């Protein structure tokens, strides 16, 4: 029995082209590299569900000049959010992590809950909690979504807390799988 050598049917090609033409301004060039095209072909031809990574709900680093995914203080303060806010975290009374975005000019504090990330909008009265630790990559991606920076001390706290929770030793080496890329750290760390 001879196997069909056609990668995509004409209908699949037309659908893909229509999508790419519709999204051409928002699709970056690296989406069209051979590796990503091969993944797309695999997904189109298989009935397998794609495995979801723990950080798949968090969008990638935003290009400079773009708007944050989550706007905290209203549309009139979009630019101010990036310039005047800082991302922090602390331990609450139950030993859970609270992530907060603080506007250093107005003093407004926004608690960033998992519900904010899931809904990609600010949820002021959410009861959802992060738990006792979060992976450093997730904290960094939250920073990217908000387009706000965090301090070295905050990042070190997140890393120590994650290592202690996972490995019972806050100085344990964290596998790179859980860590943000250097490019993202350079962009999101407060100088």
Where in the chain are the domains?
10-45, 75-188
Cα radius of gyration (the chain): 20
pTM > 0.75: yes or no: no
CB 179 within 8 A of CB 136: yes
Query: In this model, does residue 63 exceed pLDDT 60?
Result: no
Segment 30-48, tens digit of pLDDT: 556 666 666 666 666 665 5
Q: How far is C-alpha 183 from the geometric centre of its chain's CA atoms?
A: 14
Segment 106-122, tens digit of pLDDT: 888 888 888 887 777 77
29 vs 129, residue with greater confidence: 129
Query: Is the torsion defined by CA of 176, 67, 186, 162 positive or negative?
Result: negative
């Amino acid at each position: 029995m001879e196997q069909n050598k056609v990668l995509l049917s004409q209908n699949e090609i037309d659908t893909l082209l229509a999508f790419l033409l519709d999204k051409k301004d928002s699709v970056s060039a690296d989406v069209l590299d051979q590796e990503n095209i091969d993944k797309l072909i695999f997904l189109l031809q298989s009935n397998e569900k794609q495995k979801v990574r723990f950080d798949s709900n968090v969008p990638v680093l935003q290009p400079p000049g773009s708007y944050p995914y989550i706007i905290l203080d209203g549309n009139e303060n979009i630019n101010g959010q990036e310039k005047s806010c800082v991302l922090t975290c602390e331990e609450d009374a139950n030993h859970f992590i609270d992530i907060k975005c603080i506007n250093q000019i107005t003093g407004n504090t926004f608690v960033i809950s998992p519900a904010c990330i899931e809904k990609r909008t600010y949820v002021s009265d959410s009861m959802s909690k992060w738990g006792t630790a979060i992976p450093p990559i997730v904290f960094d991606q939250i920073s990217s979504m908000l387009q706000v920076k965090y301090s070295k001390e905050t990042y070190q706290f997140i890393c120590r807390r994650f290592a202690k929770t996972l490995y019972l030793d806050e100085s344990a080496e964290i596998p790179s799988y859980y860590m943000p890329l250097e490019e993202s750290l350079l962009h999101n760390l407060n100088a």
